[in-house]
């Protein structure tokens, strides 16, 4: 930047640093379809899960999420029914996602005929 003598320099626009998102990688190691959710806990009711994400058999999916506290949960589906419904899985657990971190969430079950890959 070149400044004119005695006139000063133009003010620079300050830009706030952009925070990198947290990355959640979900790996389905089974032959079942799974549904997962990530709900920010701020301002959400405990049962406010409206945005289930589907993960197909053997699929790996990635989501970029703003850092913060989330409630995360999952359920396995087979023949249009939920396998072994688990209240904890559907209600989710609280998880803190930090900016710039990568989280891997492997999905597996003993019900799969192929078993779970390590």
What is the residue extent of each domain of the chain?
Answer: 22-107
Tell me how crowded residue 38 is: count the other CB atoms within 10 A of its CB. Answer: 21
Domain 22-107: state its class: mainly beta
Query: Tokens at residue 46, please?
Result: 């405990």
Percentage, residues of the chain above pLDDT 90:
41
Q: Rounded to an integer, what distance in angstroms lies between the CA atom of residue 83 and that of residue 74?
A: 11
Is pLDDT at 118 greater than 80 in this prediction?
A: no
Instruction: Name the pTM for this structure.
Output: 0.71
Q: What is the pLDDT of residue 22?
A: 96
For the chain, count helices (H), then strands (E).
1, 8
Q: What is the pLDDT of residues 51-101, one digit of tens each?
A: 889 999 999 999 999 999 999 988 888 765 555 556 556 678 899 999 999
């Amino acid at each position: 930047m070149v400044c004119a003598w005695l006139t000063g320099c133009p003010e620079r626009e300050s830009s706030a640093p952009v925070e990198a998102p947290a990355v959640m990688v979900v790996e389905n190691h089974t032959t079942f379809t799974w549904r997962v959710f990530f709900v920010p806990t701020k301002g959400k009711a405990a049962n406010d899960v409206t945005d289930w994400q589907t993960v197909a058999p053997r699929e790996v999916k990635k989501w970029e999420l703003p850092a913060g506290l989330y409630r995360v949960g999952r359920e396995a589906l087979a023949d249009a029914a939920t396998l072994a419904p688990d209240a904890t899985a559907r209600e989710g657990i609280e998880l803190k996602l930090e900016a710039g971190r990568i989280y891997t969430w492997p999905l597996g079950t003993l019900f799969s005929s192929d078993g779970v890959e390590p």
